[in-house]
Amino acid sequence: MIRYAIVGAGRMGNAHANNLSCIENAQLAGVYDILPERSRELAQKHNAAACSSLDELLALPNLDCLIVTTPTYAHAEAVQAACQANIGIFCEKPLCRTQDDADRLLALLEGYQKLFAVGFVRRHMYKVIKAKQMLDANTLGRILYCNVDLPHGKYKRMPGDWFADFELCGGAILDMLAHHVDLCNWFFGQPVNVYASSLLLDSKLPLPADYVASIVNYDSGVICNLMSSWQRVGRSGEMMEIQGEKGTLIIDGTDLLTYYDQQGNLQKIDPAAEFPAPKVAGHGVDNVNAASGFFRQSLSLTSALAGEKLPLPGIKEAYDSLKVGLAMIESSQTGKVVAF
Ligand SMILES: NC(=O)c1ccc[n+]([C@@H]2O[C@H](COP(=O)([O-])OP(=O)(O)OC[C@H]3O[C@@H](n4cnc5c(N)ncnc54)[C@H](O)[C@@H]3O)[C@@H](O)[C@H]2O)c1
């Protein structure tokens, strides 16, 4: 049995607990949130211990892994404590909020003997795995460019919420675009330079909202154009369009991939049909979609903690995605290209 602890019993803490409850060899041992009622509520739902401090949580017997789902600015503290306790760590993306914290975590985790994984959930989605296979098989030929369009049209956060404070969450760049920056890094190689313009979640606006337009150049020659927004009214969606010399592949918000071959023929690919259905077990709770990236991420994490060799994104991937995000922020602030 793999025994988990969760720090941060908000939206993602609850989501991970729900997924774990549907995995046969996973057990939630304890929960800690700075708001005691949240610890109690989540712990009660999953028959776990409600702890009154992070130290108490990490002192639970036979823990295998701490899941860090605190706000971004508080990740580093929890990751460091879990390192001291010498247990596995799963940290939600982004790795942390600042370069200093990122450097400290990189130094701490590079030689870490236990598992460290970061929550780049898209890497666990069938459509993304299939897209990576197609890129590796050179189906699209040499890749020329990639467009990422990531608007969130129902941004409701208000001042006082950490999600509306740029210094705490890093706005659309660090919070939302982090996923697609990671995919660009995974697909296209080493980023060479970054240019960006962003509202940086401007708190002077009557209702804080965000917008970023950025270009990242890769050493492979691929040009990536990434846009993301948090808007009060407007469309939501996601689209990653990868243009190669032999075809164009689109990963969007649906489960299907869209592929245009060299002759312009359109093909819809159903990646889920190519993978075995995941096993759902345990006491189970509502709202768990076994085919979702989130469930598959929890399954892979549990299998990796049980000793299976699985390529989970770790500290290097987390650090590299953050590096590009922080460069977008720097470029937006200085108006200059940031070269690596
Ligand atoms: N992978 C994804 O798709 C995805 C989606 C949403 C959020 N996230 C990430 O997950 C993290 C959490 O986001 P969320 O939406 O769950 O936030 P949230 O605000 O809903 O939950 C955070 C919880 O942490 C608690 N908390 C705050 N400081 C704490 C501390 N020092 N110690 C213990 N508990 C503390 C809060 O009381 C709250 O209950 C963020 O880093 C966010 O970027 C990832």
Q: What is the pLDDT along the chain (340 residues), one digit of tens a residue?
A: 999 999 999 999 999 999 999 999 999 999 999 999 999 999 999 999 999 999 999 999 999 999 999 999 999 999 999 999 999 999 999 999 999 999 999 999 999 999 999 999 999 999 999 999 999 999 999 999 999 999 999 998 988 999 999 999 999 999 999 999 999 999 999 999 999 999 999 888 888 899 999 999 999 999 999 999 999 999 999 999 999 999 999 999 999 999 999 999 999 999 999 987 777 776 555 567 888 899 999 999 999 999 999 989 999 999 999 999 999 999 999 999 999 9
C-alpha closest to that of 26 among 84, 88, 82: 88
Contact 147, 120 (CB under 8 A): no
Of 78, 98, 122, the residue that ends a domain is 122
Sign of CA dihedral 121, 124, 130, 132: positive
Count structural domains, the chain. 2
Q: How far apart are the first and last CA of the chain?
A: 43
- Which protein residue's CA is at the shortest distance from atom 33 of ligand 1? 33
Q: Does some domain include residue 327?
A: yes
- pLDDT of amino acid 228: 98
Question: Do 75 and 54 share a domain, yes or no?
Answer: yes
Q: With a 6 A CB cut-off, is 34 part of the ligand 1 pocket? A: yes
- pLDDT of amino acid 286: 59
Quote the CA–CA distance of 172 and 325 in Å, as a whole number: 10
Q: With a 6 A CB cut-off, is 70 part of the ligand 1 pocket? A: yes
What's the 107 CA to ligand 1 centre distance in angstroms?
24
Question: Do 70 and 43 share a domain, yes or no?
Answer: yes
Tokens 């108006």 sit at which residue? 335
- pLDDT of amino acid 131: 98
Quote the CA–CA distance of 325 and 120 in Å, as a whole number: 14
Question: Do 131 and 214 share a domain, yes or no?
Answer: yes
Q: Does some domain include residue 297?
A: no
Question: Do 183 and 328 share a domain, yes or no?
Answer: yes
Using only C-alpha atoms, the chain has a radius of gyration, in whole angstroms, of 20
- pLDDT of amino acid 277: 76
What's the 12 CA to ligand 1 centre distance in angstroms?
6
State the residue range of the domain holding 86: 2-122
Quote the CA–CA distance of 319 and 97 in Å, as a whole number: 11
What's the 69 CA to ligand 1 centre distance in angstroms?
5
Ligand 1 pocket test, pick from 34, 168, 169, 182 with the greatest ligand atom count within 8 Å of Cβ, gives 34
Q: Does some domain include residue 238?
A: yes
Question: Do 107 and 161 share a domain, yes or no?
Answer: no
What's the 225 CA to ligand 1 centre distance in angstroms?
28
Question: Do 171 and 184 share a domain, yes or no?
Answer: yes
Question: Do 202 and 214 share a domain, yes or no?
Answer: yes
What atom of ligand 1 comes closest to residue 13's alpha carbon?
16
Tokens 């860090």 sit at which residue? 68
Contact 142, 245 (CB under 8 A): yes
What's the 268 CA to ligand 1 centre distance in angstroms?
36
3-class state of residue 216 by DSSP: strand
Q: With a 6 A CB cut-off, is 151 part of the ligand 1 pocket? A: no
Q: Does some domain include residue 291?
A: no
What atom of ligand 1 comes closest to residue 35's alpha carbon?
37
Ligand 1 pocket test, pick from 57, 66, 92 with the greatest ligand atom count within 8 Å of Cβ, gives 92
CA 47-52-57 angle, to 5 degrees, is 65
Of 100, 122, 144, the residue that ends a domain is 122
- pLDDT of amino acid 338: 98
What atom of ligand 1 comes closest to residue 121's alpha carbon?
1
Q: With a 6 A CB cut-off, is 234 part of the ligand 1 pocket? A: no
